[in-house]
Amino acid sequence: MSHVVTCKIYDLATSQLADISPIALEKSMTRLHNGPRGFTIKAPAGHSLLTTVAGDGYRNLRKGNRKLLVWEDGNIVFHGRVFGVERNGDGTKNTATITAWDPWMELGFDSESRAGRPVRDSTGNFINPTFTSSVGGQTEISGPDLIKQVLTNSMVVGAETPGPGGEGPLPIDLTTGSFDLTVPPAVDLRPVLKMDWPILIGDFIKELVSTNVVDVNLRPVDPSEGLNNYKMAALSAVSSFGTDRHATVHFDYMTGSKNAIACRHVEDFSTINNKLYDYLGPRRDQSHWTANITPPGSIGTIIDNSRARYGGAGTDKGQFMSIRILDTTGSEADARPLYAALWLAEQRLRVEPRDLLFITPAPDAQALYEAPHDFDVGDLITVKTGGDFGLTLNETQRVYGYTRTWNRENVASMSQLLTSADPA
């Protein structure tokens, strides 16, 4: 089935410069849970739609001050800045590969190589910022609340350091998304405020989502929505993003609808660990750290069960122990509740061997369900396998990523889905 895929280059506002749909040779979109959305197009490098000089004096195709918008069958699926243009020629043909990313890329993550925006409080302070809940009368503060505040504070226009102002407007809308502000049901993340400041917003969000109690999603904005001309995406920050679709969206390999063309299942014992010790800095002397986290009684049952199956102290089967020293970002001990949450998530994950399951949907309409229309990252789906696969599976999985590719005729295919490592 052929889709209508429309790809247009704009300036950073709402001025359309070129509809490059007719010259797009290959197109693909990569979508990640709690990560940036990227789009890549390959086109003839010398085509006038790319080389024409626009009214602002720059070529239609140019890194930095151009953006890419993509619609599939009338629904916008991507809106982001052009970050890279690579031209290649072999003497017979010359192509340009255009790479664009949504505004997640502009926040600064893995910040040794990427600039972004520092986390600021309401006064503009990024050296030692302080935050309070935006919910009146609530002492606790949620991760989504923190994210909304730091993005809002960043958009304040002000003088260069040491002035109080932020970096100015962001291409991210904060008015149409969803934010879990109330604790509960959101989780109190005050401990994260003991971090070693300053830190860029992208890295800060990465720390928050690593707790598994915060999810962030950027929805591409269609210019027809009438938001600010420069808005590319609308942000939502919630406790858990996604919809439970396991009863309606299923990919069946060698069984049922047979709408999956490949399946991979890996049984992996290498990450087993049923005795995890974390030591939190700062280190006091050669033999002591400020705090540690060891197996508590509250999850003793799952640890005991693991040790009974695979090995425990005082048994002939042996024991599987890990020791981690967390002493790199100031006083980890001050943020012990945060590290306790991270310890708990890892220990629960590692008391059993990993059961890795990967599925590749059939091409286009044969898949029966297509992302992002029928399911998307964060959603729960079902994966089934037939007996000829060696074991019969019927598992609920959470989708963490995929790549959707369209050929020259706009027939779509999906990559292997990145799903939860174990049944959800």
pLDDT digits (tens, 9 = 90+) for 197-211: 889 999 999 989 988
Average pLDDT over every residue of 115-126: 91
Q: Which of 1, 68, 61 is nearest to 29 (CA)?
A: 68
Q: Where in the chain is the domain with CATH 2.30.300.10?
A: 5-101
Cross-strand partners of 176: none
Q: What is the mean pLDDT of the chain?
A: 90
Residue 230 above 90 pLDDT?
Answer: yes
Q: Is the dihedral of CA 119, 123, 125, 128 positive or negative?
A: negative
Least confident of 34-48, 107-121, 159-173, 317-331: 159-173
pLDDT band at 422 (very low <50, low <70, confident <90, very high): low
Residue 163 above 60 pLDDT?
Answer: no
Distance set, CA 336 to CA 26, 190, 274, 287 (Å): 49, 11, 21, 19
Average pLDDT over every residue of 60-84: 97
Return the structure tokens found at 138: 């609530």
Parallel, antiparallel or unpaired: strands 288-293 and 276-285: antiparallel
Output the pLDDT for position 159: 58
Please write the tens of the pLDDT for every residue from 373-383.
Answer: 999 999 999 99
> 310 by DSSP, 3-state: which?
helix
Return the structure tokens found at 153: 């504070």
Q: Which amino acid is at 360?
A: T
Residue 355 above 90 pLDDT?
Answer: no
Output the pLDDT for position 423: 55
Average pLDDT over every residue of 355-382: 93
Q: Is 43 exposed, middle or buried (0-12, 13-18, 19+ CB in 10 A)?
A: buried
Output the pLDDT for position 18: 98
Output the pLDDT for position 132: 95
* Residue 144 DSSP symbol: H
Please provide the DSSP assignment of 405-422 as one string. EE-TT-BEEE--BEE-SS
Residues of the chain above pLDDT 90, percent? 64
Q: Which residue has the tokens 């895929």?
A: 5
Q: Which CATH architecture has domain 5-101?
A: Roll (2.30)
Q: Which of 37, 30, 48, 36 is nearest to 96 (CA)?
A: 48
User: Does residue 322 contact residue 276 with C-beta atoms inside 8 Å?
Assistant: yes
Output the pLDDT for position 162: 52
Least confident of 101-115, 182-196, 328-342: 328-342
Q: Which amino acid is at 342?
A: L
Please provide the DSSP assignment of 97-133 as one string. EEEEE-GGGGG--STTS----B---TT---SS-----
In angstroms, the CA 232 to CA 211 distance is: 27
pLDDT band at 110 (very low <50, low <70, confident <90, very high): confident
Cross-strand partners of 278: 293, 324
Higher confidence at residue 261 or residue 128? 261
Residues of the chain above pLDDT 70, percent? 95
Distance set, CA 318 to CA 166, 311, 350, 415 (Å): 55, 5, 16, 41
Output the pLDDT for position 349: 82
Please write the tens of the pLDDT for every residue from 242-257.
Answer: 999 999 999 999 999 9
In angstroms, the CA 210 to CA 350 distance is: 16
Least confident of 223-227, 384-388, 400-404, 418-422: 418-422
Residue 313 above 80 pLDDT?
Answer: no
In angstroms, the CA 233 to CA 217 distance is: 9
Parallel, antiparallel or unpaired: strands 322-326 and 67-72: unpaired
Residue 274 above 80 pLDDT?
Answer: yes
Q: Which residue has the tokens 């990640």?
A: 32
Residue 112 above 70 pLDDT?
Answer: no
Output the pLDDT for position 10: 97
